[in-house]
Chains A and B, each alone.
Chain A
Amino acid sequence: MAELTADQEPVPPLTIAGHWDFRYQYFAGDAASRFFHELGNGRIMGTLCPQCQRVLVPARGFCDACYVSTTDWRQVGDRGRLETFTILASRFPGLPDPPVVIGYVTLAGASTALLNFVLGLDLTDVEAAATRLLAQPAVEVRFRDQREGRITDFFFQLADA
């Protein structure tokens, strides 16, 4: 039987590739299902917390700050201010070609900010675009003609574009 000792000749280190590819199905539940359904109707909906009176957008079944179920549904407005943004510079599966702007907007009547793509901006000079976005410009919601009950059914458009 061969014996190996610590001072053996080194061997090439082994590296193997790995990849995870599992299938899941995620159940949106009542509140999110209605939220996405209403996007199909061109409406952005929130749910009201009966305790703190915040209108939570996107709609959800409970307020985690008060730990109570939400009650009424409220349609929120289609305008707001771009509170913050980032410009994605690298290609990412499922996303449009870069550069892509995403940002948070608290729509009129909402108490929480909503994330989506921001369009209507010249991105040939991304530094200049970033400077413009730092001024927190007004934006408005635009719905796509073809809607499929997803968050990408709408986007934010610079109001002065």
Chain B
Amino acid sequence: MSSSPAGAAADSVQKVYVHGTAVHRSWADRSASLTDLIFSATRTALERASIRWRDIDSVVLGAHDVTDGRSLTSMVTAPAAGAYLKDEIRLGEDGASAFVLGTAQVRSGSCGACIVAAWGRASESDPDAVAAALFDPFFSQPLGLTEITVSALRAGAALARYPGYQEWRGPAGARRRAAAGVEARRPAVQLPLRSGELPVWSDIVAVAVLSAQPGPVEVRGVGMSTEPYQVGDRDLLGLPALSQASGQALRSAGCAVGEVGVLELDGLTLFDEALALEAVGAASAGDGMRVLAQRSDINADGGFAAGYCAPAMGLVRICAAAGRLTGGSDLALATGSTVVAAQGQAAIVLSRNQGGG
């Protein structure tokens, strides 16, 4: 045991590994309840992790009451995610934030294995109406602000400032359109955003199983940050919370973004994805749309167009990143944005565990 306080701290930090993940996407499957979907995805993740449910110590959930249409939704849904007689944390935040808390639980030594689950079922609700209810009743709701509206305002600011965004939105959007699901499941067009730049609503459950036991993917660093609530106070193009969260995650992982081979960045629309690339430092200011157009490996599953529903998406990106690491790359950065209109951001750096697991 080290005699120095710093050494003692380093010795006591538990490594955290991702053992199994599952992402289930569906749409209005009337044969399955929300809890059926959560149970199914969680069982799948446990099977892939080869970890028995009884060996799970804690469960961290990311869910929204208004999205689920169930007041205090986790009362209803937590057992489906395996929380019966377990240590359980409920977050009204994106799944990436839940993943950060799950990591903290394992890293602290307070639990050995943890389920992180997040979901949203857009087919049971009206995502735009739900989003409108998130904004304050004095300054925003009377003007019709929604999550999509803020993304459209962000797109307007980007188009006004960066010529490259107009130039490259077509090619960047084309690949997302190729990956897209059903057009009817997109929200109404809000110029300057165009239809193909908008998300395709989906029913999504994402689950990751974490453990202190060595596994195929290690959680190397995490970061979280929050911007002002008032959208008029925010730097809509700079996404400073994302810069800060990803910077913190990269620093704690001891690597630079240039060394990261896998980028899985949550964004509600094409413009949010492009600006996220800039915020994490993978593109210079104004160049995010070009990079998104030219790199097919960013959000390779199609990102927002492959099916979207808050607050599952950060965990979807983490699961995708973990999967791509086992496919060959050594380092991954995954991010998740949270309500309202990407006010909060969480970032996670994962690495392939060279020793296997």
Cβ–Cβ < 8 Å partners of A95 in chain B: 143-144
Contact B149–A88 (Cβ < 8 Å): yes
Contact A87–B233 (Cβ < 8 Å): no
Contact B232–A84 (Cβ < 8 Å): no
Q: Across the interface, name the chain A residue whose C-beta is closest to B65.
A: A20
Contact A114–B30 (Cβ < 8 Å): no
Cβ–Cβ < 8 Å partners of B143 in chain A: 95, 102, 115-117, 151-152
Cβ–Cβ < 8 Å partners of A152 in chain B: 142-143
Once bound together, how far apart are the Cα atoms of A117 and B139, in whole Å?
12
Q: Pick the contact of A92 from B66, B132, B156, B189 — CB < 8 Å?
A: B132
Contact B193–A90 (Cβ < 8 Å): no
Give the size category of A's interface with B: 35 or more
Contact B157–A83 (Cβ < 8 Å): yes
The reply on A121 being an interface residue by CB < 8 A is: no
Q: A88-B149, A102-B143 are in contact. Are A115 and B193 (CB under 8 A)?
A: no
Contact A88–B230 (Cβ < 8 Å): no
Contact B191–A86 (Cβ < 8 Å): yes
Cβ–Cβ < 8 Å partners of A26 in chain B: 137-138
Once bound together, how far apart are the Cα atoms of A151 and B154, in whole Å?
21
Cβ–Cβ < 8 Å partners of B154 in chain A: 84
Once bound together, how far apart are the Cα atoms of A67 and B30, in whole Å?
49
Q: A26-B137, A94-B142 are in contact. Are A56 and B233 (CB under 8 A)?
A: yes
What is the minimal beta-carbon distance from A154 to any residue of chain B, in angstroms? 12
Q: Across the interface, name the chain A residue whose C-beta is closest to B237.
A: A84
Q: Across the interface, name the chain A residue whose C-beta is closest to B193.
A: A86
Cβ–Cβ < 8 Å partners of B250 in chain A: none
What is the minimal beta-carbon distance from B162 to any residue of chain A, in angstroms? 12
The reply on B182 being an interface residue by CB < 8 A is: no
The reply on B153 being an interface residue by CB < 8 A is: yes
Q: Pick the contact of B160 from A84, A86, A126 — CB < 8 Å?
A: A84
Q: A58-B139, A84-B156 are in contact. Are A134 and B192 (CB under 8 A)?
A: yes
Once bound together, how far apart are the Cα atoms of A104 and B144, in whole Å?
13
Q: A65-B228, A114-B232, A115-B231 are in contact. Are A85 and B156 (CB under 8 A)?
A: yes
Q: Pick the contact of B191 from A15, A130, A136 — CB < 8 Å?
A: A130
Contact B30–A15 (Cβ < 8 Å): yes
Taken residue by residue from 1 to 40, chain A's Cβ proximity to chain B (1 for < 8 Å, 0 otherwise) reads as: 0000000000001010010100010101000100010000
Cβ–Cβ < 8 Å partners of B236 in chain A: 84
Contact B232–A112 (Cβ < 8 Å): yes
Once bound together, how far apart are the Cα atoms of A84 and B157, in whole Å?
5
Contact B152–A86 (Cβ < 8 Å): yes
Contact A86–B149 (Cβ < 8 Å): yes
The reply on B4 being an interface residue by CB < 8 A is: no
The reply on B140 being an interface residue by CB < 8 A is: yes
Once bound together, how far apart are the Cα atoms of A23 and B154, in whole Å?
32
Name the 7 nearest CB pairs between A and B, nearest first.
Answer: A86-B152, A113-B232, A84-B156, A90-B188, A13-B30, A84-B157, A130-B191
Measured CB to CB, the residues of A under 8 A from B are 13, 15, 18, 20, 24, 26, 28, 32, 36, 56-58, 60, 64-65, 83-90, 92, 94-95, 100, 102-104, 106, 112-117, 126-127, 129-130, 133-136, 150-152
- Extra 17 A-B pairs, beta carbons < 8 Å, given A58-B230, A112-B232: A13-B30, A20-B66, A20-B69, A64-B228, A64-B229, A64-B233, A88-B149, A102-B144, A103-B153, A112-B230, A113-B231, A117-B143, A134-B156, A135-B160, A151-B138, A151-B143, A152-B142
